[in-house]
Structure 1
Amino acid sequence: MRDFLPAEKARRERVLAVIRERYRAHGFDEIETPVMEEYGRLHAGIGGDNEKLAFNVLARGLDADKIRASADDPASLTDLGLRYDLTVPLARFYATHRGELPGVFRAVQIAPVWRAERPQKGRYRQFVQCDIDVIGDATARAEAELIAATLDTLDALGLEGGSVRVNDRRVLDWMLQSFGFDEAERPRVLITIDKLDKIGPDGVVRELSERGATPTAVDAFGEFLRRPAPDTSPFGDQHIRTALPDGIPDEIVAHLVGIGDAVAAARPGERSIPVVFDPFLVRGMGYYTGTIFELAHPRVDYSLGGGGRYDGMIGRFLGQDVPAVGFSIGFERIVDLLEGDADAADRAIVLVHDRDVSVAELVALKAGLIADGARVRLEQRPKNLKPLLERAAADGYTGFAFVRTGDVAASLEVKPLA
């Protein structure tokens, strides 16, 4: 968990302002949910490994005797927990307020979440998530809207050239079935497939064999992995079928093709469709039921976000299934990626005044500059001016001016802070 100094906080807020403006332009409405949810909801088996990283909150009114009596079952002492993502709270929110929301609800949530991570670069115990979700639409339009809005937001942040890797959990399940993996072993097989980029085809086959996966299925899958590189034609029906074993159900392919066609239509100036089919994209969250995707950018070798369709989650709270799909961008990663980029600075001036200038003159001068659209800070002139100006520049100020008794805004000589 981190503190942020003024310049860094200002930069984060500028990035957040761009994200909010772009998502709002795409028709998404921002909501807010509590930082805590009920323990049973956060540990209902729908949060994957994140449930193990949850910060749990002790019930109020416990005394020493109750705590000692529950030493073997500490979970029984908790009734709340800090949210570890924004999807579980959204599902609860929708189930609670469904009657007040439109039939197809497009939500934005931008807020901190908490996980008991081991702190390291890029891993924090408190971090901001930026989620957009479409609830109530089972068609490819929902995924296309999410992808188009996300790519547009990346462009607005100065990160043009992003693309989205797309797959479908139904593709993965069908593919593993076609190779002969039993249903019970498929979750473990997917964990190994998720390492394909790191350990390669031979490493995947070796690990599956060591884990005791069905030998004939491992052999068939290994042969498939080692086949000649498939056709790299543009995203579409032929490309998807070429990348998979024969016999993939038509409705799954049609859904994926519909996403690509819609995104291409939303971004007509692109030389190629910014959607890439990846039959081995897994995404670890167990609640995904259909399309899954990850946001890629050529400047980094890790994803900048991801998401997928989770049609079964809301039904856990509502009693009936409601189609839902979401996309979360990695705000912390994006901020770090933009760290060396120059921010478009506002007109921000430090007024360095002599000791004898009256408070009334200073406040009036400051108010006039603010009314003219500037950001203004007052500083009394020190003996050594350099540290003051360096601090102001670090805080995002772009210019400074000396103020003496009787000065007016029109007479100030604003010099650049460089």
Structure 2
Amino acid sequence: MQSVTLFGAEYASVDAVRSLLSVTEDGGIVRVTGLGHTLLLPIDEDQQRATTDFNTVQLDTTRVQARTATYVNGTLHLPLDTLARGLGAQYRAGSFTVPAPSLVGVSSRAGKDTDRLVLDLNRDVEVLDEQRGGNAVVTLRGLKGEARKYTTRGAFVPSVTLARSGEDLTLTFPLTAASGLRVFKVVRPGSVRVVVDAGPGVPRTNPELLGRVTRPLVLLDPLTVQGVGRDITLEVARRAALLMTQAGWQVKVTRDSANTMKLDDKLVLTRQSDVYIALDLGRLPGAKRSGVTVYEQAGRSSAQLVNAVRTGSAKPPYAVLAVGNGGNSRKLSELLRGELKGGGVTASAENTTRILTLREAPQAALLMELGWANNAEDLAKLGVDDRLDVMAVSLARSVATYLTARANNNANLSAGGTP
């Protein structure tokens, strides 16, 4: 770092430190921020007086006597020894270095309803905290430290594991459903403490999206088909919904025999769903088709954010819980057709771009055609309760299998979207 000597003290220009620090002037005071610290230095235009230690400067929350800022040929300069003192850097004449961030020590304290972990660092780093399944994970970016396991006397955090993750250091420990997590820093001149509190005494602040792992929404949308006698799509939807509800899944059906959900309300639920399945009968005049067909959405979604996440141009936290890719629908389609085949029903697979609700669904979404309304053989088969039971059971089993596998895959999900 280039510097000048003023009355025996080394000073660096603001331009020389901008790559490391943010420097702003306001009313005769220069504010220096960086490495987790904030320094306030008065600007004294008398160079000789500025280089004495009779000046009062503020290093974070502490006021001390030290050299302060001054102008050299109209350019603001900062005293290197004061910067080093406030930032925790190493300074000697002709040398100003910032040490690599490293872990200095780990300590713990057991409380009545909260356990505390304290990580002492030599300087500030970026800290991320998140819940991955039944564990809390605190990531310290770019921090050096030894990978090891610690035991504590705490009832809520009995042990913690420090591990390397690329250039980062991670702290992992079990976090029960009744416990909250709080992480904050205490920044002091020359050191930083990262404090981690966990236990029932800490309010829970988990992202709402994490509830999607254990409480997904299944939306069944039986479309109305006129002129075929009984309401086949609604009967299959009701039977499947009953089976899934009895198994503990959250299921909603878009209509009953008397009321049909408005399109806008249906689209709101569709966008919130983890599984959306429309039930219909093929009914194209003059078409000579028959049998069961399972359709997947082809092409882009109606939502710009969904497309951005699927293409990787946007990566919001826990995105995979809100937006799935085309593979989700394909996997569910394969499960459904496999269950139908086990019940003696052969189903074909096709793609479609004509269904609005499929385009709106951010996760797995299918259209299941139970048969064709203008095919007498199909209608005869759908008039038999056993056939409808096969449809309903296949639908319920495939959805349950899909969601169970999805929950297992997401059990250790990170905010970045990877287990």
The TM-score normalised by the length of structure 2 is 0.25
Q: Rg bigger for which structure?
A: 2
The TM-score normalised by the length of structure 1 is 0.25
Structure scoring higher RCO (CA < 8 A, sep ≥ 6) equals 1
Q: Would you tell me which structure has more helix in proportion to its own residues? A: 1
